Structures are given as C-alpha cells and as structure tokens.
Amino acid sequence: MPVVELNLNRIKKLVSGNITKKKIIDVLPFLGLDIESQDGDEIRIEYSPNRPDYSTEFGIAIGLQGLLGIKKGIQKIKINKKGKFSLTVERSIPSRPYVTGIIAKNGKLDDHSIKQLMNMQEDLHLGIGRKRKKSSIGLHDADKLDEIGSFHLNYAVAGRHVSFVPLNGSSELTIDEILKRTDVGKNYGWILEGQRNVPCIGDYGNQIISIPPIINSALTTVTPKTKNLLVEVTGTDKDSVEDALSIVVSTLQMAGFEFEELKITGYKNSTPQLKERTIIYDPKLTSDILGIEMSQSNMVTCLKKCRLDASIRGKKIKCIIPRYRFDIFGEMDLVEEIALGYGIENLEPKLSPSITIGEKNNVTIKTDLITKTAVGLGLLEVLNSSLTSKKILYELTKRNSSEMISVLDSKSQEHTILRDSLLSGLLENLSKNIHEIYPQKLFETGVVFSKGKPIRESINLAVILAHKDTNFSEIKAILQSILRTQFKIDCKTKTSSQSQELFVKGRYADIYVNGKKIGEIGEICNEILDNFRIRTSVVGFEINLSGLIFD
C-alpha cells in the first residue's frame, strides 16, 4: 500500500476551523486511511491505491473538511478561459498519442509542499500511470517559459541525437545519453525502447522542456520561488491522462493555486474539460445494504460530507461526482460514501432475523483443523489477497504465465491477476520481513484459480520455512504431520522429471496421495530468492486440498 507522510500542524492549518490534532487523528481512519506510525506531529499514513487524491496532505485535508462538516459538497474548480499558453500536437505520436495540461497560477510553495507534489507525482506514475507507461506527469516553472516568451508549445518527436540540460543536471546531454546514463533513463527508458524518435514537449525555438515519460529540462525546475506552474500529462489513453490531471488540479487548488486554460489542439487532442459525472441513486439501497433507515435529505447530507454534490429528484437522488473521483463507478460505491458520511462508528451490528441457527460449513471446519495443526508445529498463518500482480506471481518466480487470468480495468497495479498459486505470495511475505529475525515459518490455506468456463476454483495449502539450516527433510516432515494428524492421510514424494524453475534442480519432488499428484515440495532456487531479496535458505510445498479433504 502507498504511504504518505503528514504533519499535524500543516493539516490543521489546511483544514482550518476550530479543530484539535486529536480530532484529526480520530477521524483519519474513517477516511479509509491507516495510521502506520506517529512520531510527535509527524504521521505516516497508508492509503488505498483507489484514492490517489489522498497522496498528499492537501487531498487528505479536503476529505477531513467534509467529514468534520467544515466544508461540504463538491470542490469547485474554476478555470480562466483566457489563458495565453497553448500547446499544439504537431504530428501523430503512436507510442504516446495523448497530451493534456493546465496552468496553475499565484501559488506559494515551500520545500515540504514541493516534496508532497513530487511524491504524489510518483504515486500517480506507479498506480494509474502503470509505471509511466500509460500516463506520466510533468511539473514545470511556467515563469521560466514566460521569461523567454515561450507561450506557444508543441508536442512532437525528436531524434535521439538532440541535446538539452536534464533536470538536476549541469551540462547538456543527448536524449540517447539521458536514456543510457541517468538513473531515470535506466529505470524508464524501456518505455521508449526501439523508437528512433521520441516524444518531446518544447517551444518553437526548438528548446526542449520535457521528453515524456522520462525527464524534464533543468530550465523549468520547480523551486520554492515558483509561483506559476505548467502541468503537462502525456499517455496512451485519453481518459487516463485526464484522470491524472484531475488529481493534480484538485491538489493544487487546495494548495492555493488558481487555474488558467492551456489551449491544446491537434491529432484528436483537445483542451481538458475535467467534466463532472452524474449518477442517479436509488435510496432503497441504503436500507437494503447498510440496514439503516434514513431520509433522502440525510443521504444528501452524507454524500456532501464526502465532498460530492447531491440533490433530491423525486424518488431518486441525483449525485454529482468530481472528475478526480474516478474510483466511483456506480450506485454501490455511493452506498459506501453514504456510510462514510453517516459515520462508520454509528453503524450498529444487528442479529440476523432468520430463525435458523448458523453453523460452520465443512470447508471451514477442516480448514480450522489444518490451522490448529500448523500453529502447533510453530507456523504463522498469513492471509494474502486472491488478487496479486504479474510481477509477483510469474516474473519474480520465473513461472509460465500462459494461463494467467487478468482483471479488466484494475485501478491498482498490485492487484491485476487472479492467483493460481500460494507460494508466490508467501515468498513476497518473506521479502517484506527480511529485517525480522529467523526462523520464519509461514503457511496459508486459500483459494486459487485456473482457466475454465466458468473459471475454476480450488483450495490449496502452502507452507514455507526460512532459516539457514532448513532443508528438504524438515519441510517434508511438516507436510506429513499436517496430513496424518487430522486426516490420517499418508503421502509420498517422488523426484520429478519435469523442469521446475521455482525449486533447486534435484532438490524437489512431486507429492502423491494414492497415486494421484497433489502438489510439489522442495528447496527454493537461489535465483528466485535473489529476486525477492531473501538472503537465507528457504524450503516450501504447495498441495491441492480439493478432492483430497474437500469434496
């Protein structure tokens, strides 16, 4: 989960009103934010990738104002249509065809707010920007362009031999040198791989200010003296670039900036409108989903506390969604907003009106038996998401991705693939705990997925052991203990003749019960461990419990 660092004094000033620091801390979790740590007035907050508007103090202050009742309703964005800056797309750029932007004026920046904006920029690059491939943002000091009379910019292509002074640089480098020598070029140059001519933004005096999505020119470096900003966003999808721009605009308005239109023309590009959306909400959903009776006027109030606009239209509610809230897709999302506006703490749990008595199903009963045995053997249970990433599930483990099941239109690059294995997730758990002492012994029982019509589901068990003296015998003993203790099942292992990238060659085996293969066991390959930055020996197994202990 992405993290943002907040200062309580700055947040208090941004929120305004007679509000205490304690009240701010109490309300933050009800915005869906998780307080990771606190050191005096400095707080580290985890926020959902679905809410990139919470990537700065400014965005969080907007949410706090709503829940605290200081400011309600939509954050209105006013844009002066008589701007003097323009940007023309000179030719079609197939690899990155869309560009948008705006001029932000009369703001005040300090080192802290610049750091916040840079962090927001990178979070947007990693999330909705898909590591800058889908969209990327450039922030420039517009006054530097004003000084040289560059009011009219162009979006075109430049050869790799063209040179300019890159951001944080002191001398001119060619674009090819920037891509090969600089850290940012090495990290993101793959996006432009194979392109003889690369996208660039410049003026008609042939002065380059940006080669998206790589780096800006040193000419337009943003500093605490910057009062006016040029924001440009380029990408492969028109909606994605305008989504990213809407987040930046919302943030900069809260930071005290005003806006002037950047006129954009050429090759299916146009000046951004940042239009709001309308969703018609059926009030019945509030009682059906949340279980509370509420008047339509109270629902409108709740929605406004979440910085949306709403009004009663007969038996329905008309809700206005700001452009930056692209996490809201339909009515079910508005149910959640009403719950937040109402106050999660005010929701009271109620017993089901059913006259029948609930009981655990067979799967839960048997899963509990596995958990008790595994915990008794000194293992720690983890619960990972069924959605993971291609990088974790296939690339770092060198597994074949031909049977990969992808999720359409995911808003998070960390949750795009349905898992077909549990071991990859356990290795990721180990990679995030390399600072903890060993041994580390983890297990998970969970659902995995495989292609079919419909998609097939099964329940797997995976165990992983990490310490310098672990070996095949230790992990096999745990496998046999779990199956024998509760289920009286004997298993056998047989050296596999098939290639298996995850395990060390010659130190892994297939697992059989009654002649049927149910899984694999072995020592994890050193190359895989290096990919996860794990510096100790690791062994593990994964078995399919469906058809074994589950019907």
Q: What is the pLDDT of residue 92?
A: 84
Q: What is the pLDDT of residue 414?
A: 80
The answer as to whether 349 is a domain residue is no
pLDDT means per 10 residues, the chain with 551 residues, are 87 87 91 89 90 93 93 92 90 90 94 91 90 94 85 92 90 92 92 90 87 94 94 93 95 94 92 93 92 93 95 95 93 94 86 73 88 94 92 89 83 84 94 90 94 90 94 93 90 82 88 92 92 93 89 69
Half-sphere exposure at residue 339, Cβ-oriented, CA atoms within 13 angstroms = 20
202 plus 226 within the same structural domain: yes
Which domain CATH number covers 438?
3.30.930.10
129 plus 175 within the same structural domain: yes
Which of 316, 264, 253 shows the shortest CA–CA distance to 117? Answer: 253
336 plus 451 within the same structural domain: no
| Helix (H) / strand (E) containing 249 | helix 238-254
115 plus 164 within the same structural domain: yes
The answer as to whether 74 is a domain residue is no
Query: 151 CB contacts (<8 Å, ≥6 apart)?
Result: 84, 85, 86, 145
209 plus 327 within the same structural domain: no
Which domain CATH number covers 58?
3.30.56.10
The answer as to whether 551 is a domain residue is no
How many domains is the chain partitioned into structurally? Answer: 4
371 plus 300 within the same structural domain: no
The answer as to whether 493 is a domain residue is yes
52 plus 179 within the same structural domain: no
Asked which of 270, 301, 324 is the last residue of a domain, the reply is 270
147 plus 199 within the same structural domain: yes
Q: What is the pLDDT of residue 478?
A: 94
Cis peptide before 439 (omega within 30 of 0): yes
The answer as to whether 73 is a domain residue is no
Residue 141 structural domain: 79-270
90 plus 63 within the same structural domain: no
Which domain CATH number covers 142?
3.50.40.10
Pairing of strands 98-105, 269-270: unpaired
Q: What is the pLDDT of residue 330?
A: 92
144 plus 206 within the same structural domain: yes
Give the Cα separation of 182 and 418 in Å (integer).
36
502 plus 374 within the same structural domain: yes
Asked which of 270, 295, 316 is the last residue of a domain, the reply is 270
Asked which of 311, 344, 377 is the last residue of a domain, the reply is 344
The answer as to whether 241 is a domain residue is yes
* Residue 167, both tokens: 């951001």
The answer as to whether 261 is a domain residue is yes
The answer as to whether 420 is a domain residue is yes
445 plus 477 within the same structural domain: yes
Give the Cα separation of 435 and 135 in Å (integer).
34
Half-sphere exposure at residue 215, Cβ-oriented, CA atoms within 13 angstroms = 27
